[in-house]
A and B are shown apart, each in its own frame.
Chain A
């Protein structure tokens, strides 16, 4: 019964998405509602499975002798994060996408993306991870090129190209793991490594897999596609990338490197340095950019480095911080992107040098942007504070003081660039050139509602940290086998 539910969790949106273009022929309303129902169905099953996997229980699903899915606490935690955001994205799309062409393709791709994400999260096998990984890449390619302008399509191709290049490297790594352990199955790999204490996964394989993870998580040096993808399409798709897609990479890092493989200790020192470089470089880039969406995108690159650090430092506190970071960053960054979308939509402008004083005309958006920005900065009592604190604390605890200090510097830079944007856009005198669009005003109700909801969640997730903290802690214990 529970196995069947887990199967439906992935299969319902996956196969349901195929019906969306057909339903779109019948009418927009029917298709929109159906898309939402698919997501809610998936979200509902995740919630239902929460008590099932309490304790040390795990679920595995096999169909016709092929093991497909595997659910533990880490997977459910990740699934809940992405499904919540996915549902909000679909809600927001109702208003935002209503007057563009290719709506059928849009809903098809978004739901297929989220379904593939679920498939990836619950994959019990390296091949299935790769399988779903590439489906998400295909969806992103279509979504970034959604407006069909030559420039956007080129950016879509760039993103697709970089992530597929990384993924193929990763596939090479998977093949090496197979060559070493004789299996693709995660549990069997873990069992194999348990039977051979002292044996570690080959370093070349780790390097290859890391390539894939870094390309998907937009980490230096494979980050360049994300700022481009963030600028080109609608904020909805940008949000999809920044808040959900890039988490795939760090999730796979957690799933493979922390929960399954035994790897050479050297990686726990190398990966934090990669993350540190990524955090500083992208934060500096965000500091000098003038395009509001590029800034937010670079900020994503920078924050992802924090998550990667948390997972790579490899002690209980930091991994816990990393997992919470996935949740907190998802919510807050979604809020920032949607606020940027509202601002762009109303002022017809993305250049922060030509904005100012918007707090007077767009009060709700201004406040929401502030709240989300505070969470990303890591100010107490917002959710972002706890995760950032734990990540840095974990690094210090493991004795990597230099790394810890670098990330403190990165946190200060975050403070600086977000304050810069906030002040430039919302305070001071208006610097907008009169371009005939009239004075900017507050966005449409559904947009404002969404940003306010996300801002409230950012605050709430910090004030009521208990449940998510506790669940993440159990997930970490299960992952690290303590």
Chain B
């Protein structure tokens, strides 16, 4: 019943908006929480045989468009449920106005519908529709508070997203002209048949290029990253949790991984992806070094981490791609955790300007400790889960023969560590800054996601060698290597 991933959140949104407003206000949060927990549990219980769940699915019998969920989809469902779950708690904690919170909760559910749809779609046009669902709800989430900065950030995102839309749509039109179908399997069969003449191949390369650039914009990869720091830092922190944690990953990166394998049929190391990935890692990391706004630093850090996923994909071998997918999941845990930390700091200390903060670990022990775990995981330091995914990526890149990229990626981890150490020094470690004597630990609404995410990061890091067989090996089926 994989249709549920789309149908259930949508149904909840409809029901909430049809019921009386006061009941809906009170219920929206709990409905959302139950739904995300259910989605996570359902994914974990799903059988690990690709295709088995799909054939009997009602949607595939009734509707025109088909959906499909492999093991990679399972990883995405988990990440999406986890981040949306955290965003609900943060929204409850940060957004005081109950009407606005209701809107926020609804948008979260819509965004979740869109992301699940992206994961499930099995033809390009369905993919496009769900991409737009995600983008539309993201615009409103960024501008939710109607501040000038928020509107500006949302506007930038709208503009660049429109460009991406145009690129993706034109690419689809070209592919449709050529193949006569937008179904993943059919397109792949034609593109990889090896019977295209030279002119058509150039045509195909052009179409694929347009599509990939569109996805680069959606994913915020360098040099198309201009909108991302503004959008993340001007959005209300509750929305940043969702955007930074999963949205760009689902819309840009996951789609790219999916298409690279299922549509474009890339099976050789791709210099373009390796170059863009390395550039993203470097630019994101060095830009993060210079930030004094906590949230902006996290935004640049996201750009940098996505670069790791992209080089993993670019190496196109089993180890690297499994690492990239694992990094996608890890990124959604540790980056969400860091955004939740920033929410706590913003609310309790009243600012996210790192020059005005200091020594908060004394006052906020849980937030301080979990932020250390999250930052070390981002920097790829054991014993945290980020270490294993980076290790697999770098190992895979090395084995694919791109030695320079592997060594650069390792060394740029040092820069990641450098900006996070500076963040720790200015926000949590060190002496208490003047004026913060009265700061207290964040309330329970925030401690829950903090602790849940920290436990996942640490637990997965400690037990990863035992997961290689239960969690990672099934991913191999996807890559038929």
A contact set with B: CB distance below 8 Å: 63-66, 101, 127, 130-132, 134-135, 137-138, 145, 148-150, 153-154, 156-157, 160-161, 164-165, 168-169, 171-172, 175-176, 178-179
A24 CB to nearest B CB, Å: 12
Residue ID in chain B nearest A167 by CB atoms: B381
Interface centre among B381, B406, B418, by most chain A C-beta atoms within 10 angstroms, is: B381
Give Cα A154–Cα B430 distance, bound, in whole angstroms.
Answer: 9
Sample (26) of A-B pairs whose CB atoms are under 8 Å apart: A64-B466, A66-B465, A127-B391, A131-B387, A134-B381, A135-B383, A138-B381, A148-B431, A149-B430, A150-B425, A150-B431, A153-B429, A156-B429, A157-B425, A160-B421, A161-B414, A164-B381, A164-B414, A165-B414, A168-B414, A171-B410, A172-B410, A175-B394, A175-B398, A176-B398, A179-B399
Give Cα A130–Cα B413 distance, bound, in whole angstroms.
Answer: 15
Q: A63-B466, A66-B466, A175-B398 are in contact. List 16 more A-B contacts (CB 8 A).
A: A131-B383, A132-B382, A134-B381, A134-B382, A135-B382, A138-B376, A145-B429, A153-B425, A153-B429, A161-B417, A164-B414, A165-B414, A168-B410, A172-B410, A175-B395, A178-B395
Residue ID in chain A nearest B413 by CB atoms: A168
Q: Does B14 contact A (CB under 8 A)?
A: no
Interface centre among B362, B406, B407, B430, by most chain A C-beta atoms within 10 angstroms, is: B430
Give Cα A115–Cα B314 distance, bound, in whole angstroms.
Answer: 39
Contacts of B407 in A (CB 8 A): 172
Task: Count contacts between A and B, CB distance < 8 Å.
Answer: 73
Q: Does B55 contact A (CB under 8 A)?
A: no
* Complex contact A175–B466 (CB within 8 A): no
Say which residue of A63, A135, A153, A165 sits within 8 Å of B430 (CB atoms): A153
Contacts of B431 in A (CB 8 A): 148-150
* Complex contact A148–B410 (CB within 8 A): no
Give Cα A161–Cα B289 distance, bound, in whole angstroms.
Answer: 14
* Complex contact A172–B406 (CB within 8 A): yes
Give Cα A448–Cα B59 distance, bound, in whole angstroms.
Answer: 79
Give Cα A139–Cα B451 distance, bound, in whole angstroms.
Answer: 21
Q: Chain B 442-481, CB within 8 Å of chain A: the 1/0 string? A: 0000000000000000000000011001000000000000
Within 8 A of A (CB), among B388-440: 391, 394-395, 398-399, 406-407, 410-411, 413-414, 417-418, 421-422, 425, 429-431
B320 CB to nearest A CB, Å: 12
Q: Does B40 contact A (CB under 8 A)?
A: no
* Complex contact A179–B398 (CB within 8 A): yes
* Complex contact B382–A130 (CB within 8 A): yes
Contacts of A172 in B (CB 8 A): 406-407, 410
Say which residue of A63, A150, A157, A171 sits within 8 Å of B421 (CB atoms): A157
B276 CB to nearest A CB, Å: 22
B374 CB to nearest A CB, Å: 13
Give Cα A164–Cα B430 distance, bound, in whole angstroms.
Answer: 21
Interface centre among A65, A132, A168, by most chain B C-beta atoms within 10 angstroms, is: A168
Residue ID in chain B nearest A63 by CB atoms: B466
Q: Does B150 contact A (CB under 8 A)?
A: no
- Grouping DSSP codes into helix (H, G, I), strand (E, B) and loop, the B interface class, with mixed when no group exceeds half, is helix
Number of B interface residues, CB 8 Å? 30
Give Cα A165–Cα B413 distance, bound, in whole angstroms.
Answer: 9
Contacts of B383 in A (CB 8 A): 131, 134-135
* Complex contact A148–B430 (CB within 8 A): yes
Contacts of B387 in A (CB 8 A): 131, 134
Residue ID in chain A nearest B458 by CB atoms: A18
Q: Does B359 contact A (CB under 8 A)?
A: yes
Q: Chain B 365-387, CB within 8 Å of chain A: the 1/0 string? A: 00000000000100101110001
Question: With A66-B466, A149-B431 known to touch, is A175 a contact of B406 (CB < 8 Å)?
Answer: yes
Contacts of B417 in A (CB 8 A): 160-161, 164
B contact set with A: CB distance below 8 Å: 359, 362, 376, 379, 381-383, 387, 391, 394-395, 398-399, 406-407, 410-411, 413-414, 417-418, 421-422, 425, 429-431, 465-466, 469
Contacts of A65 in B (CB 8 A): 466, 469
Contacts of A179 in B (CB 8 A): 398-399
Contacts of B414 in A (CB 8 A): 161, 164-165, 168
Give Cα A154–Cα B466 distance, bound, in whole angstroms.
Answer: 37
Contacts of B398 in A (CB 8 A): 175-176, 179
Residue ID in chain B nearest A165 by CB atoms: B414
Closest 10 CB pairs of A and B: A131-B382, A66-B465, A134-B382, A157-B421, A153-B430, A134-B381, A168-B410, A172-B410, A175-B398, A165-B414
Give Cα A108–Cα B413 distance, bound, in whole angstroms.
Answer: 27
Say which residue of B406, B418, B429, B430 sits within 8 Å of A161 (CB atoms): B418
A332 CB to nearest B CB, Å: 32
Contacts of A64 in B (CB 8 A): 466
B43 CB to nearest A CB, Å: 23
Give Cα A175–Cα B411 distance, bound, in whole angstroms.
Answer: 14
Give Cα A144–Cα B414 distance, bound, in whole angstroms.
Answer: 19
Give Cα A444–Cα B261 distance, bound, in whole angstroms.
Answer: 70
Give Cα A135–Cα B362 distance, bound, in whole angstroms.
Answer: 22
Residue ID in chain B nearest A172 by CB atoms: B410
Contacts of A132 in B (CB 8 A): 382
Contacts of A153 in B (CB 8 A): 425, 429-430
Interface centre among B395, B398, B406, B421, by most chain A C-beta atoms within 10 angstroms, is: B421
Contacts of A156 in B (CB 8 A): 429
Contacts of B430 in A (CB 8 A): 145, 148-150, 153
Contacts of A148 in B (CB 8 A): 359, 362, 429-431
Residue ID in chain B nearest A150 by CB atoms: B430
Contacts of B382 in A (CB 8 A): 130-132, 134-135
B297 CB to nearest A CB, Å: 16
B461 CB to nearest A CB, Å: 9
Give Cα A65–Cα B414 distance, bound, in whole angstroms.
Answer: 33
Give Cα A131–Cα B381 distance, bound, in whole angstroms.
Answer: 8
Contacts of B429 in A (CB 8 A): 145, 148, 153, 156
Give Cα A132–Cα B387 distance, bound, in whole angstroms.
Answer: 12
Contacts of B394 in A (CB 8 A): 171, 175
Residue ID in chain B nearest A64 by CB atoms: B466
Give Cα A164–Cα B411 distance, bound, in whole angstroms.
Answer: 10
Give Cα A467–Cα B307 distance, bound, in whole angstroms.
Answer: 55
Contacts of B395 in A (CB 8 A): 175, 178
Residue ID in chain B nearest A162 by CB atoms: B414
Residue ID in chain B nearest A158 by CB atoms: B421
Give Cα A127–Cα B465 distance, bound, in whole angstroms.
Answer: 10
Give Cα A130–Cα B461 distance, bound, in whole angstroms.
Answer: 13
Give Cα A149–Cα B394 distance, bound, in whole angstroms.
Answer: 37
